[in-house]
Chains A and B, each alone.
Chain A
Amino acid sequence: MAEAALLPGRIALLGNPNCGKTALFNLLTGSRQKVANYAGVTVERKEGTLRTPAGRTVKVLDLPGAYSLNALSNDEAVTRDVITGHSREALPDLLVCVADATNLRLHLRMVLEARSLGIPLVVALNKMDRAAKLGITIDVESLAQHLGIPVVPTVSISKRGARGLEDHLDRPVPARGSSSWAAQGIEEVRRTQQEVLRIFRATVKEPAVDADPSDRIDRLMMHPFWGLLVLGIVLFVTFVSVFSIGGWLTGYVESAFAWLGGLVEGAMDEGLLRGLLVEGIIGGAGGVFVFLPQILILFLFILALEGSGYLPRAAFLLDKPMSRAGLSGRSFIPLLSSFACAIPGIMATRTITNWRDRLATIMIAPLMACSARIPVYTLIIAALFPGQPLLATLLMIGLYALGIISAMSVAWVMKRSRPTSERSTLLMELPSYQWPDTRSLVIGLWERAMIFLRRVGTIILALTIIMWALYTIPSPRTHAQGTPIERSLAGEIGHALQYVFAPIGFNEHISIALVPGMAAREVVVSSLGMVYAMEGDEDEVGGQLQERIATEWSLGTKLSLLLWIVFAPQCLSTFVTVKRETNSWKYMWIMGGYLFALAYLASLVTYQVTNFLTGS
C-alpha cells in the first residue's frame, strides 16, 4: 500500500553513547517525559512528547545508546530490535540519528548504517557549539548532500538549540521504504569506514593542533598514582557533602516536622485519628521524609560525575584492582549507582557484555550501601556517638567500606568457585570531558525527588499505617499482660519473632519492624519512630527516637542492627529486578540466601562478642 507523505507523529532518537542524545531528549521534551521508575543511565525506555513550532504534538522515544546495530550488549540489542521491527514497538515515522559534531569520524558510521533501515532519517548534528569552540568547521549542506539525507545542527545544552530539528518535524517525511539492513561482517564494516572517511574529509575541517583539553586533563586524572588520589578525593568529598550539608539540611526538615506534629497535636482532640496523624504519619513516614536532602545531594554528585565524563576514567583506574576480585572496570559504574539504589545499578549492568561479569556485578550490587540505608545508619550512629561527629563519621565510612570489601570478597569467591578460560572484556569509551548539562541535572534530580516522595507517600506510608494499626489493635489473647503496646497484635508478633532475633540482640520492636523492612528498609526507622511516639509523653514527638535508642538499647544491639542493615536481603523490588534481569528464579534465591546468611552470622557474632567484651 503506497502511503502518502505524512507529518511525523512519532520519532525515535538513535545515536552512539556520549553523543548528547539524552541531553537533546531532555531539551526536546522538558518535563513532558514518561520515565520508567528508575532512570540511572539510559537503559530504561524513555518516552516524551514535544510540541512543534506549528503546534503539533510529537512523541519522542529515546533509544539506548549504541555504537552499532551489531549488538554486543543487551542495551544495543534493544535499540536494534526496535528499529529493525523485531520488537513490540511500532516503527517510528522518523528516525533522528544524533551525531556528535566534535566526533563525526566515529559517529558517521552509525548514520550510514541507519540509512539502510528504510525508515525516514534526519541527522541531528549535535554539540555544534563545542565544535566551533574547538575550531572544527563542518560544511552542513555538503554533508547533507553526501549523505543524501537532511542534516540539522543542534546544541542540546542551549535553550533554543533544537529549533532547527523542531522546524524539521513540521515538514512531511517520505513514505517508509523497505529495509535492506543486515548485520555487517568485518569486510563490509571496513568498506563503510572508507566511505565514512571520504565523507568526513570532504566536509569537515579540523585545526592542525587538537584543542580538546581532555588529553591534558587525563595526564593527571589517569595517572596511576595521582589519578587514584583524585578519585579518592572525589569520593571523599561526595561522602562528606552527603553527610554534612545533607545532615544539616535534614535538621531543618526535622524541626519542621516536629513543629507540625505539635501543631496537629494541639489542634485536635485525643483519639484514633490524632494518633494516626501524629504517630503514624508525622512521626513515622515523616521520619523518613527528612532524608530527602541527603538523598538528593548523593544523586547530584552521581549525576554530575556521570555527565562530566569522569566516571569511565574512574572505571579505567579501578579495572586492575577489580580484576583481582574477578570483575572488570565496567562493573564500576553500575556499582557506583548502587550507592544511590541497587535497582538502577542492576539495570546499568546491561552495558556489561560478558555474562559472568554481569552476573557477579548483579549479585554484589545490594552490598553497596544504598540511600535507603542512610536513615537507619544515621539514626543508630547518632545514638551510638551523640555529640561526637568524628567518631560518627568514621563509623559511617567503616560501614560503607565493609559493604565494599564484602562485595569484592563475594565476587572473588564466585570467580574461584567457577573457574573459566573466558576473558572478560573491557573495551570502553573514555569520552571528552564536558561540563554537566544543567537541564539534565535538574531533570534527573527532579525525577529522583519524585520517586522518593512517591515511595514515602505510598509504600512507606502504607506500611507505617499498617504497623500503627497492628500496634493499636489489641491481641485476641485475653491473658496477655503489660502495656497496651505489649498487648497489641504487633506486640504479640514481635514476641514470636524473638525466637529468631533474640540471639542477635533485636528486641520486639526491631524484630517486627524488620518484616515490613523487607519492602523498604526505611520502615525500620518510621516504625520505631512511631512506636516510641506512641509510648512517649504527649508533648515530645520529634527528636526523641534517637535518645530512646541511645539509652534503652545495649551497645551490642545497636552494633548488631548496623551489621544487619549492611548485609540483610532487603527491598523486594531489588529481588524482582534481579529475577527480571537474570531471567532466573535461581539467582534471585541464591542472592537472598547468601545475604541472609551473611547478615545473621555477622549480627550474631557482633552481638555475642560485644556482650562478652562488655560483660553484659
Chain B
Amino acid sequence: MSAHVIKNLPLDLLPERRWATVCDVTIPATGVDHELVLRLVELGFVPGERVRIVAEGIGGREPMAVRVGHTTFALRRHEASFIIVEPHP
C-alpha cells in the first residue's frame, strides 16, 4: 500500500477548498433520491468535471457550497454523498 494512492471518496467527505474530479455518480434505484441524482446530473455533475467545496455551513459541514464549472450550488451533505470524486494531489 502506498501513501500516494488517493482514494475516491464521496463529495461530502472532500476537504474544503481542495479541487477534485468527478469520477462517478451513485444512482439510487427509485424515489426521491433518484430524482435528486437525475437533477445533479442535469446540473453538470458528470464524470470529468472539476469540483471544489467553496464554503461550509456552521458546524457539521452542513450545508456545503460546491463549485462546478461556472456555477456554485448549495447542497446538503446527503445530496453531495451521491457524487464520487477523486481529489487532486
Interface residues of chain A, those whose CB is within 8 Å of chain B, are 67-68, 70, 72, 102-103, 105-106, 109, 185-186, 189-190, 193-194, 197, 210, 212, 214-215, 218-219, 222-224, 227-228, 312, 315-317, 319-321, 323, 329, 422-423, 425-432
- Taking the complex as formed, is B6 at the interface, i.e. its CB lies under 8 A from any CB of chain A? no
B17-32 Cβ-contact flags toward A at 8 Å (1 or 0): 0000000010100001
The answer to whether residues A427 and B57 also contact, given A67-B39, A106-B43, A193-B44 and a CB cut-off of 8 A, is no
Do A423 and B57 touch across chains, with their CB atoms under 8 A apart? no
Residue of B nearest to A225 (CB): B58
Cα distance A429–B63 in the bound complex, in angstroms = 13
Chain B contact surface mostly: mixed
Q: Closest Cβ of chain B: how far from A133's Cβ, in Å?
A: 13
In the complex, the chain B residue whose C-beta lies closest to that of A210 is B70
Are the C-beta atoms of A431 and B57 separated by less than 8 Å?
A: no
A219 to B40, CA, bound (A): 24
Residues of chain B at interface, number, CB under 8 A: 37
Inter-chain contact total with CB atoms closer than 8 Å: 125
Residues on the A chain within 8 Å of B40, using CB: 427
Complex Cα–Cα for A430 and B67 (A): 9
Of A315, A316, A427, which is within 8 A of B55 by CB?
A316
Identify which of A186, A219, A319, A432 contacts B41 (C-beta below 8 A): A186
Known: A193-B41, A427-B75. A218 touches B54 (CB 8 A): yes
Judge whether B57 and A320 touch: CB under 8 Å: yes
Q: In the complex where A67-B42, A222-B55 touch, is A319 in contact with B69 (Cβ < 8 A)?
A: no
Instruction: Tell me whether B72 and A106 are in contact (CB under 8 A).
Output: no
Q: Is the CB of B74 within 8 A of A316?
A: yes
Contact of B39 with A106 in the complex, beta carbons under 8 Å: no
A295 CA / B42 CA spacing, docked (Å): 40
Chain B residues, CB < 8 A from A224: 56-59
Quick check: B71 and A103 within 8 Å, CB to CB? yes
Give the nearest-CB partner of B47 in chain A.
Answer: A190
Residue B37 contacts which of A102, A109, A186, A194 (CB distance < 8 angstroms)? A186
Q: Which residues does chain A contribute within 8 Å of B78, judged by CB atoms?
A: 423
Q: Is B38 an interface residue (CB 8 A)?
A: yes
Q: Given that A105-B70, A109-B42 are contacting pairs, would A430 and B65 also be in contact in the complex, using a CB cutoff of 8 Å?
A: yes
In contact, A214 and B74 (Cβ under 8 angstroms): no
Whether the pair B39, A222 counts as a contact (CB closer than 8 A) is: no
Q: Are A316 and B57 in contact (CB under 8 A)?
A: yes
Smallest CB separation, B82 vs chain A (Å): 11
A201–chain B nearest beta-carbon distance, Å: 11
A-contact bits for B63-87, CB 8 A (1 contact / 0 none) = 1010101111111101100000000
A70-B39, A193-B44 known; A319 vs B55 contact (CB < 8 Å): no
